[in-house]
A and B are shown apart, each in its own frame.
Chain A
Amino acid sequence: MKTKQSLAKVQKDVPCPFCSIHCDDLVIQNQSGKLKVKENGCPISVERFERPLAQSTPTINGKTATLDEAISQAAGIFKKSVEPLIAGLGTDVGGMRSVMELADKTGSIIDHMHHDGAARNMLVLQDLGWVMTTMGEIRNRAELIIFAGTDASNYPRFYERVVWNEQSMFNYDTAKRDIVYIGENLDTSRGKSPTGKKPTHLKCPQDEIGEVISVLHALVGGNKTQKKDEIAGIKMAHLEKLAEQMKNTRYGVIVWAPGELDFPHAELTIQNFCEITKYLNRETRFAGFFLGGNDGGMSANNVSAWQSGFPLRVNFSKGYPEHDLQKYATANVLKNKEADALLWISSFNPEIKPPHAKIPTIVLATADTKLDFKPDVFIPVSTPGVDHSGQMIRTDSVVSLPLKQLRNSDNPSVKEVVRRIAELV
């Protein structure tokens, strides 16, 4: 069980659990339980770390209950359910390990709240594969960075950490980096270098980025394309120039955010990114990089893969894991009334609300999560990296961070609650 720890007043090199680039250089002060980000914060981390620890208690049908009662009520729901859905999955590796155990034992379907984006990537991985890079390589090696359909502004310190970093290893002046944006509604201001060098912006509708990339692919391949002046509103001459840049760079990177490519069959656009990077590697070095998997999405997908053999969207109802990226999406499962109970997990962001599914619902969320409905069971849970230690996997799926405990909370961890439910079913 939980023991109160005497925690240092100021902790350095604190990893931030709140977005998937997991900056780990924060300095955070704990003053009588109230946290303050003293250094290296960003709007997201400051807002989340500095929220006061909310008080609330478990409830059963809206009535206050003890933790033991709530856990046993939750276990009862699982026992009655034929096809439970465990969704949200806003937790760390430890929480996810407990989820896998419970899902296996109860024949549940599992899915993460942000997996619509990740699923687009997974479709491409399973069909084609890719050439990828990591944050450390971009920081030290990238000469050309193409932001395709994203401005990375959901990851506020991305530029500071790996684009406009002052020091880079290979005697390369990072301020000379070529930055290109392709897409619409993008804030390109961060793409301006510290010395004032402006980024290129090739404006086109998001769902036409794929076509732009395939024309670029034809150009870098030396194919004479259509004798058009424009593709998706972008002048051919601009694409020709970019194609030359792509061929001539020593290390290029194409960055996308699968969750921000939100239109039908966006996986085909990602496929275009991966095809062109693969092609470019015949002559030079070029790689992809994606930003995604917030709220523990990367951790959930990875733990699912190593424990079940399949990435997320897995159904254990037959006693063995079945994987289907479309069929086992939360929205589909609920729409088709395939689940008869829902466990929703969200331990990072109080703004995230569980779906109101009209089936027995258990919600594990931060104490200050405001719900639009009364779930059958609500258990306030602590936040990994704030209230307890743990591990999370970064968006590049390579580096994982050791989360720290910064304050004492009476709320249990997802890992503990889900494990206890699993013990009772």
Chain B
Amino acid sequence: MLIKLSGGTVYDPVHGINGEQRDIYIRDGQITRRPAATVDIDKTYDLKGKVIMAGAIDMHTHIGGGKVNIARMMLPEDHRQDLVSRTPLTRSGCGHAAPSTLTAGYRYVEMGYTACFEPAMLPANARQAHMEMADTPIVDKGAYAMLGSDDFFLRMLAAKKDQEAIADYVGWIINATQALAIKVVNPGGISAFKFNQRKLDLDEKNEYYGTTPRDIIKCLAQAVNELGVPHPLHVHGCNLGVPGNVQTTLDTINSVEGLPLHLTHTQFHSYGTEGDRQFSSGAAEIAEAVNANPNISIDVGQVLFGQTVTASGDTMRQYAGHWHAHPKKWVLMDIECDAGCGVVPFKYRDKNFVNALQWAIGLELFLLVNDPWRIFLTTDHPNGAPFTSYPHLIRLLMDRSFRNDMLSTINKDAAASSVLGSIDREYSLYDIAIMTRAAPARSLGLKNRGHLGSGSIADITVYNNVKNREKMFEKPLYVFKDGELVAKNGKIVKVTTGGTHVLKPEYDKSIERSLKSYFDKYQTIKLGNFKIDDDEIVEHGNGHIIVQPCT
């Protein structure tokens, strides 16, 4: 089958193509060179005037695993407002804050996304996370294993085991849990909370282990680097949501001394203490630091107004946040000497000073960080807003007058204390193609995704070029996944199974000796049963494994 996408306007930043008219050919699921004139083309799509990009990639979205499933169980009233009927092609389910896996897969594809990554897979819960991801159709998936509050690691760090042994453990975890990268959440803080510590600054010690978040970040960032994991250590820093945490974030940037680091949902970590309410934007300082440090990338975790649910491994901060739960119910869990989770429903209100300023801070970050290769479009789904709000967010970035109209509707004091109104910048389609395709693919080490060069996997999205960018990005004209047309005019036309991106870094297998004795003494599962085989992921027929190379 040879398909020709004819005459569309192409945005392919990896190849420097910025809105040029090009033909694209697809054969056997891949993008291929222009065939000889004698070769028959099976199907041609006339795409004159249409915009073509690679399929979009969401590199931080909570789509699978225990905490998401707790959110699903806890919030039937949220789901009842967004019920999804079955069709001859698609299964029923429900959407909004914590959608069913099936609906999440369909909706991502209908929005032009072809891959999404679960950023907080607890090793103890990895099997379930993979089962949920496998039940998320069409899109490719992948997950970042969460370390840093797990007792095995903290014991090693406290015992001053050498860096190489720690890297072996990290390599073992990536293999055992079928992960693509490593995330750290409130480094050491989830453990500290189990010892009843209620706050932990970058240089504050875990009372039991004596380790500091700074030690943990440095050590893990280095391990990830040594193992050749393409994605830098993915950091959910200390003091999430705490006014004044801008300083913590700046210190975190400096702590790694030039090693690559990804700071996630940075909006929640960019708060100052100025003004009457002692809550102010630190976005300008963070943006300045990001601009000055090429080893740093961030995603924003934009807040958008409405009901959602926050689901995080950060039990310490989620406990602190539970007083603001809406509706008034919340879950906290300590998990398996491994990590924890907190699930707190929340409603962001545009007339509330803090919420409105959070909204503005996120947008300030987007607009003040200069390099779209190092800032990714996320709402930290569902923590800042459900992923279905991305088209609206894209319009806020691309359309200054729309943004200013929205700014004029939020809490007046928040609007007045933000520099947002004075920022002229508008993202271009090229910038959007970078931040939602090329850059996340590069950051995650997905070589044949996120671009439209020959040999690349044919994950392609075609948009109508509509002035209202929200409308444009809400319902793409066509979405191709592995070369197959899967959505048309924002509706699924074919259901396929996606793959799971994993990494298999090399490590010294002798680490299993100390792991085995640790598991036998302290854990409630055997080492061998903790590990997830390839077979387990593929045997139900709803997925396959895509092994990405280490660097």
Using a CB–CB cutoff of 8 Å, the interface residues on chain A facing chain B are 13, 15, 24-25, 93-94, 97, 101, 104-105, 122, 125-137, 139-141, 161-162, 167-170, 250-251, 281, 284-285, 287, 301-303, 305-311, 316, 318-323, 389, 391, 393, 397-402
Contact = CB atoms under 8 A, between A and B. Distances in A.
Contacts of B76: 126, 310, 323
B94 A97 contact: no
A140 B83 CA distance: 42
B156 to A, nearest CB: 13
B100 A309 contact: yes
B526 A391 contact: no
Given A97-B135, A134-B335, A303-B131, 17 more contacts: A104-B92, A125-B70, A127-B329, A132-B331, A134-B524, A136-B335, A137-B337, A139-B522, A140-B337, A167-B522, A284-B196, A287-B334, A305-B72, A308-B93, A309-B98, A310-B79, A398-B66
Contacts of B536: 391, 402
Contacts of A161: 524
Given A136-B522, A281-B319, A319-B85, A399 B92 contact: no
Nearest to B87: A319
Interface in B314-360: 319, 325, 329-338, 343
Contact of B124 (A162, A250, A398): A398
B329 A128 contact: yes
Nearest to B131: A93
Contact of B101 (A94, A306, A389): A306
B69 interface: yes
B143 to A, nearest CB: 15
B335 A101 contact: no
Interface string B64-76: 1010111011111
B173 to A, nearest CB: 16
B130 to A, nearest CB: 10
A152 to B, nearest CB: 15
A135 B84 contact: no
Leading 7 A-B pairs by shortest Cβ distance: A309-B94, A136-B336, A309-B100, A129-B329, A320-B83, A319-B85, A167-B521
A109 B125 CA distance: 29
B217 to A, nearest CB: 23
A134 B333 contact: yes
Nearest to B345: A129
B145 interface: no
Nearest to A132: B333
Given A310-B94, A320-B85, A393-B128, A129 B74 contact: yes
A64 to B, nearest CB: 31
A284 B198 CA distance: 10
Nearest to A321: B92
A160 to B, nearest CB: 11
Contacts of B75: 126
12 contacts: A122-B73, A125-B73, A132-B331, A134-B524, A136-B522, A250-B196, A281-B332, A309-B93, A311-B72, A398-B336, A399-B125, A399-B127
Contacts of A316: 86, 92
Contact of B525 (A24, A140, A302, A391): A24
Contact of B333 (A133, A167, A391, A400): A133
B91 interface: yes
B529 interface: yes
Contacts of A126: 73-76, 329
Interface string B130-153: 011001000000000000000100
B194 interface: yes
Counting chain B CB atoms within 10 Å of each CB, the highest count among A310, A389, A399 belongs to A399
B540 interface: yes
B99 interface: yes
B495 to A, nearest CB: 12
B65 to A, nearest CB: 9
A135 B337 CA distance: 10
B208 interface: yes
B69 A401 contact: no
Contacts of B135: 97, 306-307
B523 interface: yes
A136 B338 contact: yes
Given A131-B333, A320-B85, A391-B131, A136 B92 contact: no
A319 B94 CA distance: 11
B91 A104 contact: yes
Contact of A399 (B98, B124, B131, B193): B124
Contacts of A311: 72-73
Contacts of B329: 125-129
A389 B195 CA distance: 38
